[in-house]
Every structure is written in structure tokens, then in C-alpha cells.
Chain A
């Protein structure tokens, strides 16, 4: 026993060796800046977060404006549609990938992973070229006789949604794929054997059993989607999102206090979503 305990202590000490640098890294690069943002959001407009500053909640109160709320709503709505569309396309994709033969599986996995090799920005510009008024998609549609005049894709809500789904869908596909992959398909056979048609067996067995993967995918897509704004900017159309607002507050208006308050609200929304997800039994996504 005593010997065991000594070993355990040595283990713990060795573990510290690895944990300590990581902790320092997290504190310096993540926690400190966040605390600074929190502090800045809580001091009088125009002041820096320091000992002599006057603390106030005014920055948060100033957010309660119809146009700001509209912007928050825009972001949440876009994130919601992005998540729903990613699920509708991503789940079947992940399902097929998990059930496909070895060769197909490798091919589909490549399709999911390759986009990560280049910057999202570059890929979105690629879409922009495809979608522009005199671009290839319009040319194809025209030559097929499906349209007479070029369609103005860019700037539409659909084009923004397309870019969002395109950038986010991998985060839906991968957890869905892994959930389907892990599932014991004998259970589906059992449901069929007991009298269920394939569709019914899917609803009764596959769907509930892969729900953890679906929920994880939804959180992984929704959370970053709330904050992303550059995709909407690139696709055009003038959709104002929380990200735009924060950027403008920080870089154009140079009102760091209000900008920080907005950032904090965004963080709270994200944390809230994650909390609800975890409380309702969702898997740990490696956050907390």
C-alpha cells in the first residue's frame, strides 16, 4: 500500500510537469485577456480597466437599443438556420460515410477534410467567383436554357447562408459520423425483426441513439456561427451581425467599453447554450 502511495505521488508530480505549462498558457493567453475585456466592459466610457477607474453597468445598459437587439437577433437567426441546414445535409452525409464500404468511406472523409487544408477566406472567395453575375453558375444555367437573365446570387440571404453552411458543415458531419459509426446496427435489425419498417426503425432506434452526436454537432456549428461576420461581409448584402457591431465599436468608433460589453454578452450567450447542452446530458466537447 505504502509503496503504491509513493508511486501515486511520483505520478502526480510527473503529471504536474505537463499540466503546469498548459495551465500557464491558458491563463496568460486566454484568461487574462478575457478578464481585461470583462474589466473594460465594467468601467466608465473612455476609461481603461485600472485601479483608478470608475466601475459602472452603463455599457451594458447602453446595449438595450432596438437596433442593437436587432443585430443580436440577426446573428442568432443566421446561426439557427446555419445549424438546421448543416444538420439536414450533414447528418445524412455522416450517416452514409459511416455505413459506406471502406473505399467510399475514405473518399467521403477526404471530401470533408480537404477543405481544412486551405483558408476559409480563400474558399469563400472561390464561391464568390462561382456565384457572381457573369460567373460559371449563371453561365451553366443560361446555356441549359433554365434562365434568361443572370441571377444576382451575391448579397442575398441565401448566399450568406450558403457560405456559412459551407464553412460549418464539417463540424456537423464529423460528430454525426462518429455517432453512427459507434452505433450497434444489430439494434436496427432487432427493430426490423420485431416488425418495424426501415424508416420506423430509424426514427425509433438510430435517431435517438445518435442524438448525442447530433447535439454535439449542433453546438459545434451554432456557437461559432453566432460570432462569425466576415462571411456575410464577403458575400455582401449588408447584413449586420454581432461581429460587425463589435468590430465597428472597437476599430471605428473606438468605444472599447461598449465593444467589450458586447463581447461579454456574446460570450454569455455561447456559454449559456453550452450550459443548456451539458445540463441536458450532452457529451463533453472538451470545453468543460
Chain B
């Protein structure tokens, strides 16, 4: 991370917001660095849109501060903030053509006509929509409107671009394509993005850092890798990717691995981060694609399970098994159906201990 990256552009300090029916946001703090792509990820109603609206100035927090470039913006109206938004519904002005939509932010800032035209042209080229300059928004497809909304928000050269589920209304294929384009655009322009989505795959693909939100609070803030590999809470572990969570008691710790047991058997997990001690209880999260089902026991593991079914999933086989206590677990790994276990077979679950995360660290730390 270079010097420019580490400079903080936006600081949210202890933001709380209440619309009269319980807290929508409670004590949210976030530092966003210059040029960073930060995603707010969470289910609907978790407060991510409210957070974004507080940054744009469309909402005022009850308590807390919004600092941009060291300047307190908490009480500034949206028109006075060097921040622009790409709205979920695009919010293109239906009575203005594409060109006028993109020029709007320049016009209200009284930029001279020639400069406006040049900037609009540049923006439309950037989003590859030059030939649509004279079209009305109603004559554009969803993806095209999306591009115009981005061009319009970028035209006034905001220091920070806010994107509220910008790809939510697009079909999967177009969404994947736009994800790549948006990320490329963000890197090329070096503009700081705060991006909202409820799609964890999108968040992982695009972000430098992800804030997983739940009930108006950050559950975890970290790089996609941290969020995926070392979820801090059970919610994060379940929200991101597919996984199995196993509870157990630490039997012994040797070096970086801990041996943990529960009624289903005995297994090993990485304890470097968690600093576990013998006798403690903990939760271990194992990602589905890292869960293996072996026909013979593997060292450090003793979790026998009964195969319910094996299903081909394109490139790999998913084995659905039941542990002793009935817990349903899915394992991936075998590549061909002929190598897969048969229903009724007994298999032994195992994984690479270094890739199994102890959720939230040790219980004695909490």
C-alpha cells in the first residue's frame, strides 16, 4: 500500500441514526482511504443505504461526524459536498436527454459551455455511450441507463463516488460484465468508491475492503480475504459463502494447531490467530469447497459421517452427508462421479487445518 492509499479521505465517527422505530445505525465508525474501494455489505434493512445517504448529505445523523479531507461536513447540505451518488434506480432525469443528464452537475456549478460539452463528451466516451448523447433515458436499456448514471455522477469530478446497489437491477451476465468495468473504471480514475450491495460475490470480487453490516452495526471490516477466511462472527461466516460451523471444546493445543472435539468426533483447526487454550469452547468455520469427505480416516480428524447423496455440480462433486448428531454437511473435492461415495457409505470429514477459521477468536478473549 503506497503513501496516497494510506491517506484517509472520509471518516465516519460514531454515527447513529434513528427514524423513530429503533436504531437504524448505532455508533458506526469507518475510515475510507483515498482511492479505496470500500463495500458496505448486508441484507436489506441493515442500514447500509442510510450510511450512504449520511455521507451524501441526503440524511443527517442524530449523533456523530462526517469528516471529508479533514473538514467536518456533518451539517452541509448535499449540494455543498464534493460527493456524488449513483442511485439504485439510476434517477436519470426523464425529461432531459443523455447529454443534459450528464451535464447537469456541471451546469449547476456554472462551468462554461465549452468546458461542459468537452467534459460530457469525455464522460460518455468513458462509459462507451457517445452515440447515445441525444437519446432520452426512456429509450435506453437498464445497462445503458446504468452507464449514464455513472457518467453523470463522475462528471463533476467528485472526490468520493457513492454507489447504491448500482447493479441490482441488471441480469446476472450483464452484472458480471459491469462489475469488471466498474472496477477497471475505479482503478483507472483513482476515485474513491463506497459501494453498497447485498451480493457477497460482488463484494468479494470488487472491493479493497468490505464492511459487513447487520442491524445498523459493522459486524466485521476487512479485506475480502480476511472476511472470507477469518470471519469474526457467526453471522459473517454464514453470510459470506457456504460453510459449515462446528462447535466444540479444545482438547489440546500444539504449536499452531488446536485439537477440538464435540459429540461428532475430533478435528483440528488453526489456532495462531485465536490463541486457544485447552478446555475452552469455540466455533470453527469450514468453507464448503474446503470440506473433504474421505473414505479412510485422515490424521488429526475423526468425524465419521453417513453419505446421503452425491451430486455432480460441474467440475466437482458435492457430497451431502449427515454427522452423528444429524448435522447436515456438504463437502466438495472429488472431480468425477465415479470416485464419489455412495449413499449409505461411511466417510470421514477432514480439511486443511490452516484453512479452518476459529470464529471470533478464543472465548477467553471476549
In contact, A192 and B78 (Cβ under 8 angstroms):
yes
A184–B152 CA distance with the chains assembled, in angstroms: 18
Collect the chain A residues with CB atoms within 8 Å of residue B156's CB.
194-195
Q: With the chains together, A189 CA to B89 CA distance in Å? A: 12
Inside 8 A of A205's CB, which chain B residues have their CB?
A: 93
Residue of A nearest to B83 (CB): A193
**Contact status of A189 and B105, CB under 8 A, knowing A194-B156, A197-B79:** no
Q: Is B109 an interface residue (CB 8 A)?
A: yes
CB of B79 within 8 A of CB of A190, answer no
**Interface hub of A194, A200, A204, A205 (most chain B Cβ within 10 A):** A194
Name the one of A187, A193, A204 contacting B56, with C-beta atoms under 8 angstroms.
A193
Tell me how far the C-beta of B239 lies from the nearest C-beta in chain A, rounded to whole angstroms: 28
**CB of B254 to closest CB in A, whole Å:** 57
User: How far apart are the CA atoms of A200 and B78 in the complex, in Å?
Assistant: 13
Asked if A191 is an interface residue, CB under 8 A from chain B, the answer is yes
Chain A contacts of B343 at CB under 8 A? none
Q: Secondary structure of the B side of the interface?
A: loop
Which listed residue (A187, A195, A197, A204) contacts B91, Cβ 8 A?
A187
Interface string of B83-97 (1 = CB under 8 A from A): 111010101111100
Q: Does B115 contact A (CB under 8 A)?
A: no
Q: Check if A46 is an interface residue, CB within 8 A of chain B.
A: no
Whether B77 is near chain A, meaning CB under 8 Å from some CB there, is yes
Nearest A residue (CB) for B77: A192
Give which listed residue, A184, A186, A192, A208, contacts B79 with CB less than 8 A. A192
CB of B174 within 8 Å of the partner chain: no
Assembled-state Cα–Cα distance A189/B53 (Å) = 10
Task: Report A180-225 residues with CB < 8 Å from chain B CB.
Answer: 184, 186-187, 189-197, 200, 204-205, 208-209
* Whole-angstrom CA separation of A147 from B277 in the bound complex: 92
Q: Is the CB of A189 within 8 A of B91?
A: yes
Complex formed: what's the CA distance from A59 to B153 in Å?
Answer: 65
B87 touching A189, Cβ below 8 Å = yes
**Measured between alpha carbons, how far is A190 from B108 in the docked complex, in Å?**
12
A193: chain B residues at CB < 8 Å are: 56-58, 78-79, 83-85, 153
Chain A residues in 8 Å Cβ range of B78: 189, 192-193
Query: Is the beta-carbon distance between B58 and A194 smaller than 8 angstroms?
Result: no
Whether B104 lies near A191 (C-beta < 8 A) is yes
Report which of B57, B83, B91, B109 forms a contact with A190, defined as CB distance below 8 A: B91
Known: A189-B87, A193-B85, A205-B93. 14 other contacts (CB 8 A): A184-B89, A187-B94, A189-B85, A191-B108, A192-B78, A193-B58, A193-B78, A194-B104, A194-B108, A194-B152, A195-B79, A196-B79, A204-B104, A208-B95
A-B contact pairs, 18 of them (CB 8 A): A186-B89, A187-B93, A187-B94, A190-B85, A191-B93, A191-B104, A191-B108, A192-B57, A192-B78, A193-B56, A193-B57, A193-B58, A194-B84, A194-B104, A194-B108, A194-B156, A195-B109, A197-B77
